């Protein structure tokens, strides 16, 4: 099974270790994984900023780069949603590219969805121990239906104790450029998320998206919380956390 890993632009620059955790998980599961090294970004920042042309240019690039794989795996619900849902929308007036976008969408999976649904993983090598809570990222949850999959995988780890936080499906306030354009509103939203995380009593909040991760970690640290860990689910599942 040839799997193309789309690491995402934020993992590439800010948290490369998450990309390696994802790679490790896929290889351990027996996949032949390749990371096309010309990959950059799925185009979501442009698309969501109203620049459909930029969105299309990057969508076409991703479609070309990942045309030969059986599956394409993305350690992010947000970029996964862009590829699976919005690429098709971007090419609604271009039958050829629309067909290619649909083909890519059918082969593309968010990481935990792929591990749980396609590979049906039943064993994981991770000695992670701790009390965690899980934040559901918006695009993963609402565009891709990622909710049970990460929990199912985390339940395979005997050392994990999951306590759900209040309003776990509530947005963390990231919203891409929203977090910069409306920093104060975004700050108030993530503040509430941080309160719910702390109230859960968890030692770590685990999640599946870099945007939420940077937003939540940044706010926890700014407000003096030095101890609550913010971890990508790939790190926990791979035993890298």
Partner 1 sequence: MHVQSMHFKSRAAMKLADARLQRNLGAFADKVITARAAAIAELDDFEGTRDAAVERRNRPLANLDAWLERFEREATARGATVLYAQTHAEAAHLIVEISRRHGVRKVTKSKSMVSEEVGLNQALGAAGIESVETDLGEYILQINDNEPPSHIIAPVIHKDRDEVADLFARTHGTPRKTEIRQLTREAREVLRGHFLSSDMGVTGANFLIAETGSVALVTNEGNEGMCTILPRVHVVLAGIEKVLPTLEDAATIMRLLPRSATGQPISNYFSLLTGTRAPGEADGPEHTYFVLMDAGRTGLLGGEFQEMLRCIRCGACMNHCPVYQKIGGHAYGWVYPGPMGSVLTPSFVGIENALDLPQAATLCGQCSVVCPVRIPLPDLLRKLRERQVERGLRPWYERAAISAWAFAAVRPALYRPLTRIGARVLRWMGGEKGRIRSLPLAGGWTDHRDFPAPSGRTFIEQYRERKAGRG
Binding site for partner 1 (CB under 8 A): 7, 9, 11-17, 19-20, 23, 35, 37-41, 43, 45-52, 54, 57-58, 61, 89, 138-139, 142-143, 169-171, 173-176, 178-190, 213-215, 217-219, 221-222
Q: Are residues 179 and 173 in contact, defined by beta-carbon separation less than 8 angstroms?
A: yes
Two structure tokens written together for 55: 């969105």
* Residue with Cβ nearer partner 1 (160 or 197): 197
Within its chain, how far is the Cα of 31 from the centroid? 19
Q: Are residues 67 and 100 in contact, defined by beta-carbon separation less than 8 angstroms?
A: yes
Two structure tokens written together for 134: 């899980």
Q: Closest approach of Cβ 108 to partner 1, in Å?
A: 18
Cα angle 102, 141, 235; round to 5:
100
Rg (CA), the chain: 17
Q: Which helix (H) or strand (E) holds 124?
A: none
Q: Are residues 133 and 202 in contact, defined by beta-carbon separation less than 8 angstroms?
A: yes
β-pair partners for 2: 32
* Residue with Cβ nearer partner 1 (160 or 231): 231
* Residue with Cβ nearer partner 1 (41 or 206): 41
DSSP 227: S
* Residue with Cβ nearer partner 1 (12 or 102): 12
* Residue with Cβ nearer partner 1 (23 or 121): 23
Q: Closest approach of Cβ 225 to partner 1, in Å?
A: 11
Q: Closest approach of Cβ 158 to partner 1, in Å?
A: 29
The residue count for the chain: 241
Residue 167, Ramachandran bin (φ over 0: left; ψ between -120 and 50: alpha; else beta): left
Q: Closest approach of Cβ 155 to partner 1, in Å?
A: 25
Q: Closest approach of Cβ 17 to partner 1, in Å?
A: 7
Q: Closest approach of Cβ 119 to partner 1, in Å?
A: 22
* Residue with Cβ nearer partner 1 (55 or 150): 55
3-class state of residue 109 by DSSP: strand
């Amino acid at each position: 099974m040839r799997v193309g890993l789309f690491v995402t632009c934020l993992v590439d620059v800010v948290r490369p270790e998450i990309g390696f955790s994802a790679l490790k998980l896929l290889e351990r599961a027996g996949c032949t994984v390749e990371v096309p090294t010309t990959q950059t970004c799925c185009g979501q920042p442009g698309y969501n900023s109203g620049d459909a042309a930029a969105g299309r240019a990057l969508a076409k690039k991703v479609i070309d780069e990942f045309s030969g794989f059986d599956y394409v795996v993305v350690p992010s619900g947000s970029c996964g949603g862009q590829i699976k849902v919005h690429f098709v929308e971007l090419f609604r007036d271009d039958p050829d590219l629309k067909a290619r976008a649909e083909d890519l969408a059918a082969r593309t999976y968010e990481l935990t969805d792929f591990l749980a649904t396609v590979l049906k993983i039943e064993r994981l090598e991770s000695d992670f121990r701790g009390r965690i809570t899980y934040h559901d990222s918006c695009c993963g949850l609402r565009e891709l239906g990622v909710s049970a999959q990460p929990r199912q995988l985390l339940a395979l780890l005997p050392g994990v104790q999951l306590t759900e936080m209040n309003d776990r499906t509530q947005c963390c306030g990231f919203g891409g450029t929203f977090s910069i354009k409306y920093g104060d509103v975004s700050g108030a939203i993530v503040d509430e998320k941080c309160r719910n995380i702390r109230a859960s009593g968890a030692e770590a909040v685990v999640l599946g998206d870099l945007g939420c991760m940077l937003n939540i970690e940044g706010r926890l640290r700014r407000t003096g919380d030095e101890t609550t860990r913010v971890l990508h689910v790939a790190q926990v599942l791979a035993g890298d956390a």
